[in-house]
Amino acid sequence: MTALLALPEGLFALLAAARRLLFRYGLKRSRALPVPVVVIGNINVGGVGKTPLTLALLQAFATRGVKVGVISRGYGGSHRQPTEVGRDTPASLVGDEPLLLAAAGAPVVVGRDRVAAGQLLLARHPKVELLLSDDGLQHYALRRTLEIVVIDGERGLGNGHLLPAGPLREPASRLASVDAVVVNGEQRTAIDWPPRLPLFRQRLLPGSFQHLVGSQPPRQAADFAGLKVVALAGIGNPQRFFDTLRGLGLVLQRTISFPDHHDFVATDIPDDADAVIVTSKDAVKLQCVNHARLWFLPVTAQLQPDLAGWILSRLKELHGR
C-alpha cells in the first residue's frame, strides 16, 4: 500500500466507524420491521456468492413451509421508490439479482431504503414471516435480527485494507459482531476467524446448460465439442465462472469480462462464436437480445452444515419463533 492511499483509507475508516457508532448509541435511528430480518451481506466489495446463497435459503425455507420475502438494494436499477419485482420486470428498473430471486417464487421488493422496501413487501404479502435482506450489511437504518457475512474463499479479505487501499468496506474486526460467516468455495487464504464464530461452507454446483431462447434442449459440456465457444460474464468474479466452464471440459476460444452489473446491449455479443455462454445473472439482462447462440449455466449452492436450519434455531432462541 502506498502512503498516498493511507490518508483516504484512514478517512474512510473514521467515517465508517462514526456511522456505526451513531446508530449504536441511538443518535441515528434504526427502525425495526414486525418480522425477523436476516441480512446476507459482505464486508468487501465485489461478488462473493450472496445471490446463490439467498436462492438456496429460499428453497430450504420453502421446503420447511416458512414464508419468506426478500428485500434488496436493486443495484443498477433505475427505480426511485420501493418497487416489487415480478418475473417480467425489466432488469433496467430493478437490477439483475432481484430478478433471479423473484424467479424462485418468493416476493421481492427493491429499494434504496430497505425499511421502506420491507414495509411495502409486508403490506402486499402479510403472510410473510421472515425477511432476507440481500446485501444491506452496512444499511444500519434497518434493524436486523441476524447478520450473515459471505466471503469468497479464493480472494478472502484481500490485502486486509479498507477502501480505497484495499477491498474492504468495513475492517476485518467487524466479523466479531456478526452471527455467522459463509465461505464460498475453497478457502485459499488464511483468515483469523473470531473465536466461536459459526462457519458454513458453500459450494456452487453447476447444472445443465440452458438455451436462452428456449428453442433447444439442455446441453452438457460435451455437446459443445468442436464448436467455437466464447464465455462472457459481467459479475464480481468472472474468473471463477470461466474456471468452472473449463473444469467442466469446455474448450473456450476466448473469455470476455464486463464490470459487475453491466447493462448488456446486442453489440456486446460476439459474432464470431458458435455458442456464447453466460451466467444466470447475466442471462436475465440478455432476454431482450434474443440471441439464438446464447446459453447460460445455472448453479446451485450447497451448504454445509445446514444454514437454514441453524437460522430457524437461532430465531427460535431469540424470539420463540
Residues placed in the known binding site: 44-51
Distance of alpha carbon 107 from alpha carbon 22, whole angstroms = 32
Instruction: Return phi, psi of residue 52, to 5°.
Output: -60, -35
CA atoms within 13 A on the CB side of 220: 2
Distance of alpha carbon 135 from alpha carbon 125, whole angstroms = 21
Q: Are 50 and 41 in contact (CB under 8 A)?
A: yes
Strand order in the sheet with 130-134: 83-85, 108-110, 68-72, 130-134, 37-41, 146-152, 180-184, 199-206, 299-304
User: For residue 24, what is the DSSP state?
Assistant: H
Distance of alpha carbon 97 from alpha carbon 72, whole angstroms = 9
CA atoms within 13 A on the CB side of 317: 8
| Residue ranges of the binding site for ATP | 44-51
Closest by alpha carbon to 211, among 226, 198, 224, 228? Answer: 224
Distance of alpha carbon 186 from alpha carbon 147, whole angstroms = 22
Judged by DSSP in three states, 306 sits in: coil
Judged by DSSP in three states, 276 sits in: strand
Q: How far is CA 70 from CA 103, 115, 147, 307, 310, in A?
A: 12, 12, 15, 17, 19
Strand order in the sheet with 275-279: 210-211, 294-297, 275-279, 229-233, 252-257
